[in-house]
Structures are given as structure tokens and as C-alpha cells.
Amino acid sequence: MNTPELIRKKRDGCALERGEIFEFIERYTRGEIPDYQCAAFLMAVFFRGLDGRETADLTEAMLHSGQVLDLSCFPQPKIDKHSTGGVGDKTSLVIAPVAAASGLLVPMISGRGLGHTGGTLDKLESIPGFNTRLTLAEFRRVLGVCGMGLIGQTDELAPADRKLYALRDVTATVESIPLIAASILSKKLAEGIDGLVLDVKTGSGAFLKKFQNARELATCLVEIGTACGIGVQALITDMSEPLGNAVGNALEVVEALETLKGRGPQDLVELCRELTAHMLLLGGLEATLDAARARFDTVLASGQALEKLAQVIGAQGGDARVVEDYSRLPRAQHEDSVVAPEDGFVAGLEAQAVGQASMLLGAGRQRLDSVIDPAVGVIVEKKVGDPVSTGERICTLYANDLGLLRRAREMVRAAIEISPEPVRALPLILARLPEFG
Ligand code: URA
């Protein structure tokens, strides 16, 4: 294959053949194509796009750049959930244990937080001893014992995505729907799953802020995932305010544990219920959405999901006593609050700004190699639509650096909008693809 010829073909808007895409990805993964040629290729894709067939071929080529887990020795249906990333999104810590306690196998390979969005691995690593860097053999052992496992990406699974993503990050080619779809699906398909539920976020705290773009990505993910042979259900959900109350790693672990004890914030519980219900449907454990929702509520109320999370924490080297004793989690030294400047109703709590304030405190990373502080973050005590009176607390910030605390407090203050008139919060679930009766 002549690499400049292939770049030119895409640059001029022509469709690439399956063989060309596979060869390009194989050679790039082996280091035979330099980054400068791959960067030009990515920019050509960014502007010219890929059609459905090319996107499916790219996904498969990236998937087969490494191993695909063979989980056929496990009897359960293998179903995972993926979120495109948001602020305060700790759903994986609730959904995976409920789904596993319900009889699914959940081989969850998650990411780290980047920018204002959080990542499941960072939240888990705030639990003393929790190891997200298991080998694939260790991961299989945990899956066998617990029915679920939570680890980070390994070099063996979809290595092409790791290289391509790092290059996209520095060449302004991240925001391309076919490239995002191939990136997400190649990693998820490498888990050897039968089905995937996708939480595609939209709104100020999301990666794709406009509903139309979120719908386009969700459609592409459903079409390509289905073409690659797995069941896929996407929900498009609102991320204009943080999900739940806690933003920041250890703070979010506490909120997830509270949710597993039946005391979760209403929006978080609703989203976890919907996403888990779709996982149960895809896995064939329930036949209707209502029955699947009821199963979520029953399993949560039984305490089995909390036990499941404690079991996984122990199996992955963590201190499972955190489940009952939150003082075992890291705690920040300082706190401050933002209060309502006037009587009224919370009209906005801009998710991106709250996420950025939390990142500034140290809960997130600007770059992939930044070190994070697990203890810090923000608790949003009022949500959009809540009434407030002058001086009432809306947010509490937790910090280990007083200078950062002052700056973050200003950011949170600017993120809050108060209206004199009652305000209705946006619905959380904005659309389902495929549409659901
Ligand atoms: N998440 C991914 O895994 N890949 C992308 O390209 C964007 C978001």
C-alpha cells in the first residue's frame, strides 16, 4: 500500500476499501507508518468523514490490532455500559454491581478523567489499595469470582486506539463522529461482550454539547455496534448540570455507596435504573423494560449489589471496609461554600464550570499524566428547580490548597444562576436509540 496515495484518496473524499483500512491500522500499530502520515490521514477523515461501512471496517481493524477477550467459559450474558463522559457521573459504580448481582457478567474496562469530566478508574483508585491495573489473567479470575471486574485499558486490548487517541489529542482530530465511534467500540468489543448500553451525554458538561451531535454519535454507535455483531442500546441523557450531588473522586465513591444503600439522589438513581434495565434486556434476563426496572429496584433494596461491590473491592486488592466506614477514604483539609445571593429557584448549575472547578482543585487532570487528588471536589447541594433562600448553601467545595479553593469557589459561584420564577429541570433521558415503545 502506498500511504500518501491512501491519504490523498481520503483527502479527495473517496471511500477507502476494507483491505486498505486494515493494512493502514496494522502498519501504524506496528510502527511502520510514522505519526506525521497518520496525522494527515486523521485530518482527512476529520474533514471528509467515513461512511458506515468504512467506520465498521475501521472499528474492526482497531479491534483486531490486539486480543479479543474470550469469555465463552462464563455462562452469564456478557453486557457492559459505556458513558461518553460527564460531571459527577458515578453510574458505573452502581450499575455494574446491580447488573452482576442480577446475573449478568460485566467485564468493565474503563477510562480516566480528562479535562472537566471524571473517570471511573480515578474514582476507584480513591479506595485504598484498589488495583485497576490487573493483568488479563487476573481480570478473568475476578470475573469468575464476582461476575464483574473494573479495570483500565491494557496494552493487549485495542492497542491501535491507544496510539490513535494520543495522536488525535494533539492534532485537533478528536471531535470526529466516525473516529469517536470506532475508538469507543473497538475497546468495548475487545471485552468479548454480547451487548452494550451507551450513555451518550449532551449539554454543557458533555463532550458533545449539542443534542443533534449526540444523536448523530448515538446513531453511528448503534449502527456500527450492530454491524459488528453485538446488541446495542443508546440513551441520550442530559449533562447540563452535574449528575447527582458529588463531583470528585472519593466524594463520588461515597455517593455511589449511599446509592447502593438506597439513599441515592433521585437523578442518579433514575439514570442507573434506566441503564441497568437496558442491560438486563440486552442480556435476555428480562423481557420488558418495566420488569427490568423493577428488578433493578429489588436487587438494590436486597443489599446484594452493595455486597457485590464490597466483594469486588476486596478481590481487586482494595479495602472493602470503606463500604461501611467512609473515614477510610481520603478527606480534604479545607472546605468552603457558595450560598444563594437572593431568594428564588436554581435555574442553572453549569456542569462544565463545576467540573472545571473540581479539576482545578485537583480532582481531574489537564493532561493524561497529571497527578490527581482523590479527596477534593464539590458537593452540589441544590439542583436545578430547587427553591433557595438568601444565604442558603448551594455548593460545598473540598480542597487541600487554600489558593485553589478561592479560585474554584469563584468558578462555582459564576456557574450558578438563580431565577425569581419557578424553574423546571430538563428531563434526564432525552432519547433512546433504537427508539423504545
Ligand atoms: N472516548 C473514547 O473512548 N474515544 C474517543 O474518541 C472519544 C471519547
Q: Would 427 be classed as within a structural domain?
A: no
Contact criterion met (CB below 8 Å) for 418 and 344: yes
Residues in the chain: 437
pLDDT tens digits for range 188-213: 999 999 999 999 999 999 989 999 99
Q: Last residue of some domain: 325, 340, 361? A: 325
Residue 5 is predicted with a pLDDT of: 97
CATH number at residue 19: 1.20.970.10
The yes-or-no verdict on residue 367 having pLDDT over 80 is: no
State whether 386 and 268 are in the same domain.
Answer: no
Task: Give the CATH number for residue 123.
Answer: 3.40.1030.10
Residue 133 has pLDDT above 80, yes or no: yes
CB of 259 closer than 6 A to ligand 1? no
From 55, 173, 180, give the residue whose CB has the most ligand 1 atoms within 8 Å, as the site to mutate.
Answer: 180
Q: DSSP assignment of 257-301, as one string?
A: HHHHTT---HHHHHHHHHHHHHHHHHTTS-SSHHHHHHHHHHHHH
Q: Which domain holds residue 33?
A: 3-49
Nearest CA to ligand 1 atom 6: 180
What contacts 215, CB < 8 A, 6 or more positions away? 236, 431, 433
> Quick one: pLDDT band at residue 1, thresholds 50, 70, 90?
confident
Q: Give 90-119 pLDDT, tens digit per residue.
A: 999 999 999 999 999 999 998 887 778 878
Q: Choose the final residue of a domain: 285, 310, 325.
A: 325
369 has a pLDDT exceeding 80: no
| 433 located within any domain | no
* pTM for the structure as a whole: 0.95
**Same domain as 253, residue 206:** yes
Q: What is the pLDDT of residues 338-348, one digit of tens each?
A: 999 999 999 99
Residues 318 and 340 in one domain: no
Residue 126 C-alpha cell reads as 480513591
Q: Are residues 321 and 339 in the same domain?
A: no
What residue type is assigned to position 169 of the chain? D
Catalytic residue among 161, 238, 267, 373, which? 161
Preceding peptide of 77 cis, ω within 30°: no
The pLDDT of residue 114 is 72
Shared domain check, 385 and 267: no
338 and 320 share one domain: no
Residue 294 Cα to ligand 1 midpoint, Å, equals: 32
pLDDT at 418: 98
376 pLDDT above the threshold of 70: yes
Same domain, 35 and 100: no
Q: Which residues in 341-371 are b (16+ Cβ under 10 Å) and which e?
A: eeebbbbbbbbbbbbbbbbbbbbbbeeeeee
Q: Are residues 123 and 251 in the same domain?
A: yes
Confidence of residue 291 (pLDDT cuts 50, 70, 90): very high
* 359 neighbors 116 (Cβ within 8 angstroms): yes
Residue 131: predicted pLDDT: 97
**What pLDDT score does 437 carry?**
60
Q: Is 278 a catalytic residue?
A: no
35 and 139 together in one domain: no
Average model confidence (pLDDT) across the chain: 96
Q: Is the CB of residue 184 below 6 angstroms from any atom belonging to ligand 1?
A: yes
Number of H helices and number of E strands within the chain? 16, 13
Catalytic: 328?
no
Residue 55 lies in a domain: no
The verdict on 272 and 413 lying in the same domain is: no
Do both 121 and 173 map to the same domain? Answer: yes
* Catalytic position from the list 64, 187, 273, 278: 187
State the average pLDDT over residues 126-149.
97
User: 183 alpha carbon to ligand 1 midpoint, in Å?
Assistant: 5
Residue 119 lies in a domain: yes
Domain-located, residue 251: yes
Are 258 and 301 in a shared domain? yes
Does the beta carbon of 91 lie inside 6 Å of ligand 1?
no
Q: Is residue 354 part of a domain?
A: yes
Least confident among 25-29, 118-122, 188-192, 397-401: 118-122
Span from the CA of 318 to the centroid of ligand 1 (angstroms): 28
Number of domains in the chain: 3
- State the CATH number of the domain containing residue 410: 3.90.1170.30
Given 278, 295, 325, the domain boundary residue is: 325
Q: What is the mean pLDDT of residues 289-297?
A: 98
- Is there a domain that residue 107 lies in? yes
Residue whose Cα lies nearest atom 7 of ligand 1: it is: 180
**What is the number of the ligand 1 atom nearest to the C-alpha of 111?**
3
Mutate to test the pocket of ligand 1, among 163, 170, 174 (most ligand atoms within 8 A of CB): 174
**What is the pLDDT at residue 270?**
98
Residue with CA at minimum distance from ligand 1 atom 5: 180
Q: What percent of the chain has pLDDT over 70?
A: 100
Residue 61 counted as domain residue? no
Q: Which is more confident, 69 or 369?
A: 69
